[in-house]
Amino acid sequence: MSMDLRVGFIGGGAMAEAIVAGIVQGTVSPSDIYVSDHKEARCQQLAEQYGIHASVGADSFIGNVDVLFLAVKPQVADKAIAEVRDKVGSKTLILSIVAGLTLDVLEASFAEQPVVRIMPNTPLSVGAGMSAFACGTRAGRAEAAVVSELLSAAGRAVEVAESAMDAVTGLSGSGPAYVFLLIDALSDGGVAAGLKRDAATLLAAQTVYGAAKMVLETGKHPDVLRDQVTSPAGTTIAGVRVLENRGLRGALIDAVLAATEKSRELGKK
C-alpha cells in the first residue's frame, strides 16, 4: 500500500540506503523521497539506483517533507541538527536512527516537532528488516502508526520503551553482522568437508534463513525446534556438543552485551 508522504533523509549512508530500498518497494513513491548527503558522487548513485531526489544540502526539500530521517554518524549529529532544526516544518515527524541520541536531546533540539527514535537494520534493503522504535512525548498513536507502517513495509517493526533501545542496538541493530559471520563460518565448514564454495554458501545461508523463518512462523521456542532436529546419538547432537564446548552461546551473548554497552557509551558523549 502506497503512503502519501514526502520523506526526507539527512545522510545517505548504508542505513539510509537500506530504508530507502525498503520503502520504495510500494510504500513511498521514489518521486517523494529526498536525500541529502555531503558527497556528490553518493547523491548521484542513490538517484540513479532508486529514482529518488538526492543532493548535497537539504535546502531544496527540508521545509516540505512530512517525515525527516536523521541518518548521520553520531559524531556529526549535533552539526546536522543545527543546520536543519530552524528550517524543518513544525509538524514534520522527526525519525532519528542516530545511535545513542536520546529522545530528551531530540526533543530539546526540535522544540515543536514530534520525534521518534529508531533502530533499524540493514536487511530492510531486501524487505526483511527488523526495526524497533521509541516515541517521544509529542509523538502519539498516529505518529507511531506512520512509523510502524513505514518500517513494516520492509520487514517487521516493534515499539519499545526508550530504555530498551541500547539492547535493541546490540541485538538486532548489530545482529546481521553476527549472522553474516556465522554464515561465512558454516560455509567454511562445508568447504572443509568437501563442498564447493558456492554450494556451501548457498546451503549455509538458506539454512539460516529457513531456521529463522520457522521460529517466526511457528511461534515455537528455538529449543523446541532444535530438539526436533536432534536425534539421540545422531549427527546434529555431535555438532551441537562441539558448539557448546567451544562457547558459541556465551560468545553470542557477550557480543550482544558488548554492542549494547558501546551504544550506551555513545549516548553519553
Q: Give the tens place of pLDDT for each residue, 107-133.
A: 999 999 999 999 999 898 888 999 999
pLDDT at 125: 81
Residue 159 pairs with which residues in a beta bridge? 133
Would you tell me how many other CB atoms lie within 10 Å of the CB of residue 177?
13
DSSP-derived pairing of the beta strands 115-119 and 7-10:
unpaired
Question: pLDDT tens digits for 4-50?
Answer: 899 999 999 988 998 898 888 878 999 999 999 999 999 999 999 99
**Residue in 146, 160, 154 with CA at minimum distance from that of residue 17:** 154
For the chain, the C-alpha Rg in angstroms (whole number) is: 21
Question: pLDDT tens digits for 234-251?
Answer: 999 999 999 999 999 999
**Mean pLDDT of the residues in the chain:** 93
CB contact burial 120-144 (16+ within 10 A = b; e otherwise): bbbbbbeebbbbbbbbbebbeeebb
pLDDT at 250: 97
DSSP per-residue string spanning 39-52: -HHHHHHHHHHH--
CA distance 267 to 57: 26
Q: Which amino acid is at 48?
A: E
Model confidence, pTM: 0.88
pLDDT at 207: 98
